[in-house]
Amino acid sequence: MQNGFYSVTGAMVTQFNRLDQISNNLANLNTPGYKSQNEVIGDFMRLFEEKRDELPLENRTKEAAQFLNRSLNRVPRIAEVYSDFKMGPMIKTGNPFDVALGEENLFFAVETPAGIRLTRDGAFKLNDDGELVTRDGFPVLSKSYFKNHQPIRIPPEALNVNIDPTGRIEYMDQTAFELPVYLDELMVVRMDDLQELKPEGDNYFGTEKGRLEEKMRIVGETMQVHQFMLEKSNVNPIREMTALIETNRLVEMYQKAMNTQMDDLNNDAINKLASIRA
């Protein structure tokens, strides 16, 4: 088989994977707090040189890896996928349980079946027990969670729930002479390295290595919590549509290249193999 098939096939598979990434971004165009996913295209040689010493080869030397098929060295592939944590625009909703964060490296902490996860999606609600939860029903954590492990619960008699810029939650109680009653405080956290966060679906972030609780830092004081607001997705629809068109054109180009390779292979088979005398 001609070596060109390897390069063209690898390039086409890369574009298919890139198409999945673009489609996911466009599907989350209206998801509050969603952070777009972007990719870095590299080649096999670059990846091999970066990870060579981690491979289980004898003596861990470059010479030990000479068995590699050199026709694969320049096959393009997605070398890395990363999240763009740039802030999206904010919109006013008027819902007292909609909360947005006004700084890039700030997150809400929620408790999921897989453990604590982070999110920028502040479209919260109350469940049947009066607990503050995400749209998926996962409890939103308070700053005192690691001390009492209790969810944020809004009592039935609470009126005019207020969440101030520090994350402090208060409500008005007619029985308390219309004075604000302190209830709890939202846990707001930050990461030392944002790229350690990996998307896990449904707008939640975790980490690949180590427990998230060990890497996140609870913010002591902040003035970036905004009630009655939601942060929109930071996906740029024009950029994504342009990338979508580009990807489709590249797939068409690689398809034509594959057809050319096949035509050449068939011509060789007909003109050369058929001319060999028995």
User: Is residue 127's pLDDT more than 80?
Assistant: yes
pLDDT, tens only, 167-206: 999 998 766 556 788 999 999 999 999 989 999 989 999 9
pLDDT of residue 79: 73
Cα within 13 Å of Cα(154), Cβ side: 25
pLDDT for 53: 61
Which pLDDT score, from 0 to 100, does residue 41 have?
78
Decide if 136 contacts 152 (C-beta within 8 A). Answer: no
Helix ranges, the chain (H): 4-27, 44-51, 145-148, 212-215, 237-268
Q: Kindly report, residue by residue over 131-172, the tens digit of the pLDDT.
A: 999 999 999 999 999 999 999 999 988 888 999 999 999 998
**Biggest distance spanned by C-alpha atoms of the chain:** 108
Enumerate residues 6+ apart whose C-beta is below 8 A from 20: none
Integer Cα distance of 44 and 47 in angstroms: 5
Position 46 scores a pLDDT of: 62
207, containing H or E segment: strand 205-207
Overall average pLDDT of the 104-111 stretch:
96
The full length of the chain comes to 278
Residue, of 76 and 269, whose pLDDT is higher: 76
N- to C-terminal Cα separation, the chain: 23
- Mean pLDDT comparison of 100-104, 170-174, 259-263, 271-275, highest-scoring range: 100-104
pLDDT digits (tens, 9 = 90+) for 207-226: 987 689 889 999 998 999 99
pLDDT score of 256: 83
Q: Which single residue is written with the structure tokens 């320049």?
A: 74
* Cα separation, 150 vs 155, whole angstroms: 14
Any residues with CB less than 8 A from the CB of 267 and at least 6 apart, and which? none
Position 44 scores a pLDDT of 63
190/261 Cα distance (integer angstroms) = 52
Contact indicator for 79, 40 with CB cutoff of 8 Å: yes
Please give the pLDDT value at position 104. 93
pTM of the predicted model, to two decimals? 0.80
Q: Is the pLDDT of residue 128 over 50?
A: yes
Q: How far apart are CA 116 and CA 111, in angstroms?
A: 5
**Buried-state track 197-214, b at ≥16 Cβ within 10 A, e below 16:** beeeeebbbbbeeeebee
Q: Using the structure block, give the residue that is written with the tokens 């469940």.
A: 127
Task: Give the pLDDT band (50/70/90) at residue 112.
Answer: very high
Residue 195's pLDDT is 87
pLDDT grade for 67, boundaries at 50, 70 and 90 = very low
Model confidence at 272: pLDDT above 80: no
pLDDT in tens, 1-58: 456 677 777 788 888 889 999 999 999 999 999 999 998 777 666 666 666 566 555 5
Separation between Cα atoms, residue 12 and residue 249, nearest integer Å:
11
100 band by pLDDT with thresholds 50, 70 and 90: very high
Average pLDDT score over the chain: 84
DSSP structural state of residue 108 = E
User: Is 34 in contact with 233 (CB distance < 8 Å)?
Assistant: yes
pLDDT given at position 56? 57
